[in-house]
Amino acid sequence: MSQIVVKATGLTKRYGQFTAVDAVDFTLAENRIYGLLGRNGAGKTTIMQLLTGQLFPNAGEAEVFGRTPAEHSDVLRNLCFIAESQRYPEDFAPRHVFKAAPWFFENWDQAFAERLIADFRLPLKRPIKKLSRGQLSAVGVIVGLASRAPLTFFDEPYLGLDAVARHIFYDRLLEDYAEHPRTIVLSTHLIDEVANLLEHIILIDQGRILLDRDAEEVRGSATTIAGPRAVVDQFVADRPVIGTEGIGGLASVTIDGRLEQPDRIRAAELGLELAPVSLQQLIVHLTGADLAGSTEGEAAA
Ligand SMILES: Nc1ncnc2c1ncn2[C@@H]1O[C@H](COP(=O)(O)OP(=O)(O)OP(=O)(O)O)[C@@H](O)[C@H]1O
């Protein structure tokens, strides 16, 4: 049984009359990669701010390494939070950030940081305020990875990072995690890109937890059937369809649930292809179909 590093009980955050995080209960286990997913305004950043002691809850509590984060500096030393728009002191250049980082993170690996700096082609001496948007994100990503903090939060860390840079991030994260396991919480809207990285999904909607499940189980909870539109339509006629895609005569339809063996055989006989569901498609379905267009747009961006 793996160790629990975070335990949230009835965790609640209100802003005036508005409840951003509504009595959520969840745990995060040691050495696992979590996807904290959900639509804009769902409450993801607020939850991460509560867990890292940047906000106080109005009700409930969060225990991080068995303690309340804001009140125990030794807890904070084990945390790394990379925000979407990380701020740095005026007149800092990246080299100042990497020089200061070991003071905050006791597991900081300078050699790893240097390798990442080369990977991301980050100019070390250029003032941070003159960096491009993607370069600024790279600074945060490097700090988050090289910190090797036992509990690391990446909140949409890659604004402006190009596709190559994002894949460097994913590859390095996985390689390093294999050698230095830790708990990582990744919040992102690029769900399909990170789907293979995630071991556990926590899906938030309007401040509440909609799904808290092992990623493999989530993937296995629906099936995509692809092939000629007429054949697919006939095959899925009486089944719970949760998503439809396709062009021209080809269709790819996702249904809720697994297919049993006789259905699998019938699908094969009809020349249909069965594929595991896309995590993004499932999440779009769970949090409202009107999200479909926007997430696809983001993923392509
Ligand atoms: N300081 C604040 N005052 C009032 N409302 C706030 C404040 N901070 C956040 N909120 C509201 O709380 C809700 C949750 O915000 P949060 O930033 O946690 O969402 P999110 O899931 O991270 O969204 P996104 O994916 O867009 O980053 C939103 O509706 C937001 O407008």
CB 25 within 8 A of CB 188: no
Residues 142 and 238 in one domain: no
The one-digit pLDDT tens for each residue of the chain (301 residues) are: 679 999 999 999 999 999 999 999 999 999 999 999 999 999 999 999 999 999 999 999 999 999 988 777 788 889 999 998 788 888 899 999 999 999 999 999 999 999 999 999 999 999 999 999 999 999 999 999 999 999 999 999 988 899 999 999 999 999 999 999 999 999 998 998 999 999 999 999 999 999 999 998 888 888 999 999 999 999 999 998 888 888 889 999 989 888 889 999 999 999 999 987 888 888 888 887 544 444 343 433 3
149 alpha carbon to ligand 1 midpoint, in Å? 25
Residues 226 and 136 in one domain: no
Residue that finishes a domain, picked among 163, 188, 217:
217
pTM: 0.87
Residues 40 and 23 in one domain: yes
Distance CA(136)–CA(143), nearest Å, equals 11
Domain count across the chain:
2
Residues 112 and 252 in one domain: no
- Enclosing domain of residue 86: 4-217
The response to whether residue 151 sits with its C-beta less than 6 Å from ligand 1 reads no
CATH code for the domain in which residue 278 is found: 3.30.70
Residues 259 and 159 in one domain: no
Atom of ligand 1 nearest to the CA of 42: 21
Q: Classify the complex by whether its ipTM is higher than 0.85, answering yes or no.
A: yes
Instruction: Kindly state the DSSP code that residue 67 receives in the 8-state scheme.
Output: B
Residue that finishes a domain, picked among 162, 188, 217:
217
Q: In testing the pocket of ligand 1, which one of 11, 13, 15, 85 has its CB within 8 Å of the most ligand atoms? A: 15
Residues 62 and 134 in one domain: yes
Measured over the CA atoms of residue 212, residue 167, residue 295 and residue 223, the dihedral's sign is: negative
CATH code for the domain in which residue 132 is found: 3.40.50.300
Distance CA(122)–CA(243), nearest Å, equals 41
The response to whether residue 46 sits with its C-beta less than 6 Å from ligand 1 reads yes
The response to whether residue 15 sits with its C-beta less than 6 Å from ligand 1 reads yes
Residues 113 and 248 in one domain: no
292 alpha carbon to ligand 1 midpoint, in Å? 21
Residues 160 and 276 in one domain: no
CB 142 within 8 A of CB 115: no
Residues 48 and 67 in one domain: yes
The response to whether residue 183 sits with its C-beta less than 6 Å from ligand 1 reads no
